[in-house]
A = this chain, B = another copy of it.
Amino acid sequence: MNKYPKALENLIECYSKLPSVGKKTAERYALYTLFSMDESDMIDFTNALISLRKDIHICPNCGNITESSLCTICSDDTRNKRQVLVVESVKDLLTIEKVNEFRGVYHVLNGAINFSKGIGIDDLNIDSLIEKVKNNEIDELILATNATIEGETTARYIKELLNSYDIKITRLAHGLPVGGDLSYADEMTVLKAFEGRRDY
């Protein structure tokens, strides 16, 4: 038997869609929203959600999210436009940006080749990248697709596709995570660590 007003029930339902938020936590969030958030916080919250839908769109140049016509990275003149890092998703891009190491630009594929799900190369955001390579706009392509079957397949596919062009194609190093214990590493990671071992 449920005693919550419908509006509160709806909000609980919405919160419970967030990652690793169960019914109990969603209920706590919703009750907090109702009883402890002040009017202005709630207006901010609503506006943030509306603005997320309305103001954020995809950068036509690289596939990053942006509120302007070009994203902050593509419109940054200090970044090397001839060095392009290829990622599967905007999330991956944001992860790399946090490190503050890379000073080139990105290309977001928006997925990876996955035959079992029927996702082929044509379903990815790749045409504009090929076009740039053809027009000799790129010196180095850093493939940073995930170290999964899908990511590896995609990386290999892109390499094949661009083999005939005179550009440097590199792949981010895979190996043991820094600070990680060897005994916790999975086989694939250990294998990659062996493959990539260097003189010491």
Contacts and interface: CB of A to CB of B under 8 A. Distances in A.
Interface size class of A (residues with CB under 8 A): 35 or more
Contacts of A42: 49, 52-53
Nearest to A29: B18
A28 B21 CA distance: 11
A48 B3 contact: no
Interface string A131-157: 000000000000000000000000000
A23 to B, nearest CB: 13
A7 B56 contact: yes
Interface string A16-45: 011101000000110111111101011111
Given A19-B28, A94-B4, A49 B35 contact: no
The 9 closest A-B pairs by CB, nearest first: A10-B48, A7-B51, A11-B48, A14-B45, A5-B67, A46-B49, A3-B97, A7-B55, A7-B52
12 contacts: A3-B94, A3-B98, A4-B94, A5-B65, A6-B51, A6-B55, A7-B48, A7-B55, A10-B44, A14-B45, A18-B29, A46-B53
Given A4-B94, A5-B67, 5 more contacts: A11-B52, A19-B36, A39-B53, A43-B53, A46-B50
